[in-house]
Structure 1
Amino acid sequence: MVSRSLIALSSKLSTSSITNATKTKTPKHVPLTGLFAVNKPSGITSTTILDHLQHVCKRNQSHPLVKGVLEVDGSKRAQKRGLVKIGHGGTLDPLARGIVVVGMGTGCKKLHNMSGSSKVYIAEARLGYSSTTLDSTGSLVDQKPTDHITKERLLDTLQAFKGEISQTPPLYSALNMDGKRLYDYAREGIPLPREIPSRKVQIHGLDLLSYPDEVTVPDPCLQAFGFQLDTDFSDASVGDSPVVNSCDNVTLRGDENDIQEEQKSFRPKKFSDPTLTDPTHIPIPPPTIGDNSLYFHIRVHCSSGTYIRTLIADIASHLGTVGLMTDLLRVEQSGYRLGGPATLEVRECEDLEKVEDAIQAGNRIWDERTRQHQE
């Protein structure tokens, strides 16, 4: 016969187990932190976006979002200087614009997965000229004819670059070699300790969005994303020439504006490229009627580590000429898309309520991405 004391002890242990189980299942309150994206304008660095967000948080430390991030952090940076933990998941060159994935608070731990993810770009290429930086900000290096190039040859070349390819990163890049950035070697005129090693990258998709043959109608997404098209196709009939490879048309929320004009309380450090102040710098000639240029736009879905500048230069070489990049837009990175609910314009970062909404949407994207990878 079981004694009353044993029954009481058993009941107590059972109640304790239920209570502990309930405590385990009930998650502790975690401040709203995570991932979202910002549409970076051309002409500023990716770090400027972080500086701007840090400035907004510094001015709004009583906001629940900022307080929560600082409380969870607990570092000297947070406690003594009032600086939130913030980072980005992949830099964009100052010339480039578009998606920069931002991590705030505990979301920073997820950023290493972002930098290694695939990305989608739209790029404008100019064949006939090459530069030191492989884009329009560099110094003129060479000039070659383009009149032998046809749309058919270009399409065949794009097809040849799909799949796994070998690519050598450009000299003007942020890659490290012996503790020094490659672009620092270039700007200081210091020889590299060794050759830049090539790498394997994956081109998942490579589509032609425009070609200046006065027949091909540019993809409508180019106008939606703010690309400048020299030729007016407004009277062209889409039925005569189908749009090439639609780009999932997206209407952006608001125009791209300069931070300095919008945020009077924030003065970002102005980016200055030493190549432009170099007395030996030879600027790329502007486009003129009848010049040697051939412009076209491509959509690139690629793996992490792919340099679009290098891709365009390699395409040009394959076509028997030279080329450079004149505009670049990152449209998507790991589900974070321009025009999506998790993406903010720079001016919207002033409103921490909108930042919270973007983080909520961004966390849903992250959770869905994690679920798909587990299946």
Structure 2
Amino acid sequence: MNCKKYFTNLPQLIPDWNNSCSSIYRRTKEIHRNYHHSEMDKSTKKTSSEPAAPPSSNNFKCPLSGLFAINKPSGVTSMSLLEAMKELFFTSKLFVENPEPYEIQTGTNENGKGKKSRKNKYWQKKNQAKAIKVGQGGTLDPLASGVLIIGLNSATKKLSNCLDCSKSYRTIGILGCKTDSYDSDGKVVGLSSWKHVKPEEIRKECQSIKGEHWQIPPIYSALKMDGKPLYEYARNNIPLPRPIEARRCQLLEIEMVDWKESGEHSYKWPTEMISEEESKIFQLAENLVKQTGIIKSESTKLKNNQTENGPEKFNESTKREPSLEQEENNPKKVKLVDGSSGNSEAQSSIKNQPVAPESKDVVTMDDNGKSPVFTLEMTVSSGTYVRTIVHDIGQAVSSAATVVSLIRTRQGDFSLDTESDTSNRTGGSKTLPCIDWSVFEKAIQSRSNGSDYPPNEAGLRKWEQELLKHIQVS
């Protein structure tokens, strides 16, 4: 079949052949230009360093993903707050499509017993809520309060970026008492005289410990090896399989900002004393560390300038901290001490600690509440134990000290400071604010009482509005 004649006669078949070709050409060129501009816009968005704008009440993707921070209260675990929040997410259209409440329908099986129907819409929503991923970028101990970064859904992958950044703390230490955990949630191990300690000595120690140090966590309550706490080795009289590995940390800034004598504060030592059996185990654990020794890893790198435990388990120390359980024959490790002695600067943030002078003052629990407290503000690298710093300062001034208050005031870009406070910082850098936990707490209490806060015009409750206002979408 000869098709050539058909193509030759094509202009005759179409009345306005030339205009049609010109129109097609112009339309093709317009499509190409629009496509080129859209690709340029995408490229600009990818390379932009500006944070993504929070989604509006009418413009969000379900389920919601992103990073935000709450102001954690003292006295509760971080994980318990996350679990409570997931119950709220289950009722929100930010995370579940059409989250209307459904009654639980029950049927009867062959035995006549009640059984929840798998096809019930309630359980469909429940399973949808279970699929919501919630993680934290560095937990806080129950005693501690302040900035707690939370990741939702796909943004949980970004929580690792929160692990290696610097953190700022405000902590209060009380003199005269030593506990097994170095804070007031622990048990009292010993009491020491404090009357000779002056505020100037604390300030001097703060200046002397700035910079890089090697640190070990509280021996009795925090140290583990091969997944087993050190007190288990001591209790069973088992030698440690290898030396303790010190953690590298850096005190970027530290300053004593307040000092209060007895009568000017209400803080007291914890009242629970360590038992006689626990005291023996505590001494054995300390002896085990001294006998085995302490080593430091030169492969541990500080990441102070990045803007510290994600979804897995994290503590005041971080997931990215150097492990205490690495192999003894690691060629990158350097043994600090010869022989069996574990005494070295790696045991403490304080160098050349003085030997406590003999004191005629006998300190008992009757003196509880009579010792002064000091307040420290510090900015530290990832992996720093604030409790250990306070404990070491107490030892350095020939006394003892334990943490009675700990607030994380900043972590990376998130801060407790208001916008006006952050604008006064050096360089005018601004940080992202936190959502106060009371916002979620009121919503949780309303649900438990069978009521709920009235939504706004967009159908969003107060806590949902605050979340959309603060979240950094991924």
C-alpha displacement at 1:344, in angstroms?
A: 2.0
Q: What corresponds to 1:125 in structure 2? A: 173
Q: What corresponds to 1:345 in structure 2? A: 436
Answer yes or no: is 1:34 the counterpart of 2:66: yes
CA distance in 2 between partners of 1:109 and 1:135 (Å):
32
Answer yes or no: is 1:56 the counterpart of 2:88: yes
CA deviations over 1:209-254 (Å, ceiling 9, x no partner): 221369xxx9xxxxxxxxx556xxxxxxxxxxxxxxxxxxxxxxxx
Q: What corresponds to 1:85 in structure 2? A: 133
C-alpha displacement at 1:21, in angstroms?
A: 3.9
CA distance in 2 between partners of 1:343 and 1:120 (Å):
15
8 Å contact kept, 1:42–1:94: yes
Residue 245 of structure 2 aligns to a residue whose secondary structure is coil
CA distance in 2 between partners of 1:9 and 1:176 (Å):
74
* Amino acid corresponding to residue 375 of structure 2 in structure 1: H
* Amino acid corresponding to residue 65 of structure 1 in structure 2: L
CA distance in 2 between partners of 1:187 and 1:34 (Å):
45
CA deviations over 1:132-171 (Å, ceiling 9, x no partner): 1111222222222222221222111110111212211224
Q: What corresponds to 2:191 in structure 1? A: 143
Q: Percent identity?
A: 26
Counterpart pick for 1:207 among 212, 237, 255: 255
Task: Answer with 1 or 2: which has the greater Rg.
Answer: 2
Q: How does 1:229-244 map to 2 (within 5 A)?
A: none
Q: TM-score, normalised by structure 1?
A: 0.65
Moved more, 19-28 or 91-100: 19-28
8 Å contact kept, 1:124–1:327: yes
**Number of aligned positions between the proteins:** 297
C-alpha displacement at 1:83, in angstroms?
A: 3.6
CA distance in 2 between partners of 1:360 and 1:183 (Å):
45
Q: What corresponds to 2:33 in structure 1? A: 18
Answer yes or no: is 1:97 the counterpart of 2:145: yes
Q: TM-score, normalised by structure 2?
A: 0.53
Answer yes or no: is 1:66 the counterpart of 2:95: yes
8 Å contact kept, 1:33–1:105: yes
* Amino acid corresponding to residue 145 of structure 1 in structure 2: S
Q: What corresponds to 2:10 in structure 1? A: none
CA distance in 2 between partners of 1:332 and 1:361 (Å):
16
Unaligned runs of at least 5 residues, structure 1: 71-75, 219-227, 231-274, 367-375
Q: 1:277 to 1:324 in 2, by over 3 A?
A: closer
Residue 101 of structure 1 aligns to a residue whose secondary structure is strand
Answer yes or no: is 1:316 the counterpart of 2:364: no
CA deviations over 1:306-352 (Å, ceiling 9, x no partner): 11110111111222222211111111112322264732222312655
* Amino acid corresponding to residue 35 of structure 1 in structure 2: L
C-alpha displacement at 1:280, in angstroms?
A: 5.3
Q: What corresponds to 2:75 in structure 1? A: 43
Moved more, 344-353 or 43-52: 344-353
Q: What corresponds to 1:354 in structure 2? A: 463
* Amino acid corresponding to residue 106 of structure 1 in structure 2: S
CA deviations over 1:173-216 (Å, ceiling 9, x no partner): 667643x27489589879654443112211111111221369xx
Question: Does 1 or 2 have the higher relative contact order (CA < 8 Å, sep 6+)?
Answer: 1
Unaligned runs of at least 5 residues, structure 2: 1-16, 46-58, 100-123, 280-362, 419-431, 444-460
